[in-house]
Amino acid sequence: MSRLLQVRDLQTHYVSFGGARVVKAVDGISFDLDEGETLGIVGESGCGKTTTCQSLVGLLPAAARIVGGSIVFSGEELIGKSQRQMRRIRGAEIATILQDPMASLNPLFSIYRQVGEPAYYHRAVHGRRLRERVRELLNAVRIPSPAMRMREYAHQMSGGMRQRIVGAIALAGGPRLIIADEPTTNLDVTIQAQYLDLLKELQQRTAVAIIFVTHNLGIVARMCDKLAVMYAGKIVEAGSVRDLFNAPQHPYTKALLGSMPRLGSKEKLLAIPGQPPDLATLPPGCAFHPRCPEALPRCAVDQPPEMAVGAGWTSRCWLSHSRVERPLQADDVPAIVGN
């Protein structure tokens, strides 16, 4: 597989009016993604997951700025491109699926117009070919009676159908990367399973890479090849899903897995004490140390470096440092790293 996306030391900050308050929403993260792979990004609300996705496609809120780092997509640097240049990439090369389909769908336009728009503008598909393309896409995402549904509007669809319509829009331009930001949150469990199976099937058919942002580690286990765990704007542990699920190294990863219910298990679920920190006033040292049951005295003073704990597996924790007893080396740079 060839390298599709390379993110290095990405820093995205929110700055208040006058610059009095700076929120480091994304604080120096790095990761790689190959063609056809799926990367899961997990963490509590406010850890920087959505801001990371917005940074990748150049759709940040007015108060946010990328202040450092690099985003190389298919060998092309994205940071510094104008909005006009990014519009040629969004939809055609990188597509997004958002959490709320009603925030993505325009109630005034028909399903045909909205699904067909990326193919029309990015792939120059017109007339009868466009109608055939829209019908194919609706079939691909399992919308029944596509010839009839394409004439309808978003309010005439169920929640599950609306989310599948958004998936069809994402696929319409033939992207190489789909960023799915909590796409199953508003779906019931049965529809969630169907939607995840659909995404997996479409990925196998098209070889599109996916970045899957979620709170649900069960979804990560089902969908993802690699996992990046975010806390307070940083990636604190990253590696293959198998490694992180079988032997998590960072206490935060352990806490997230401990809070996940398991079918048939009678073990009590663990709650992570306290609240995530204010990103504008982070504590010294490791940001997780006030909530960490394994915190050492130095955790409150020194920020832990990133450590290689295995092939393609890193952890930002002093406990990992004591186990590995060496810092990250150039030869250790994994498929996902967080600086």
Tens of pLDDT along 50-94? 999 999 999 999 999 999 999 999 999 999 999 999 999 999 999
Cα distance between residue 23 and residue 197, in whole Å: 37
**What's 282's DSSP letter?**
P
- Residue 323: what pLDDT? 57
Q: Which residue type sits at 320?
A: S
- Residue 322: what pLDDT? 62
Q: Which residue type sits at 261?
A: P
Cα distance between residue 213 and residue 191, in whole Å: 18
Pairing between β-strand 177-181 and β-strand 94-97 as defined by DSSP bridges: parallel
What is the second-level CATH architecture of the domain 1-81+224-287+309-316+327-339?
Answer: 3-Layer(aba) Sandwich (3.40)
Cα distance between residue 116 and residue 30, in whole Å: 34
Cα distance between residue 5 and residue 298, in whole Å: 35
Q: Which two tokens stand for residue 287?
A: 């940001």
Cα distance between residue 212 and residue 220, in whole Å: 8
Task: Could you list the beta-strand ranges (E) of 253-334.
Answer: 307-310, 313-315
H or E element, residue 131: helix 127-140
* pTM (global) more than 0.75: yes
* Model pLDDT for residues 91-131, shown as the tens digit of each residue: 999 999 987 888 889 999 999 999 999 999 999 999 999 99
Contact partners, residue 62, CB within 8 Å, separation at least 6: none
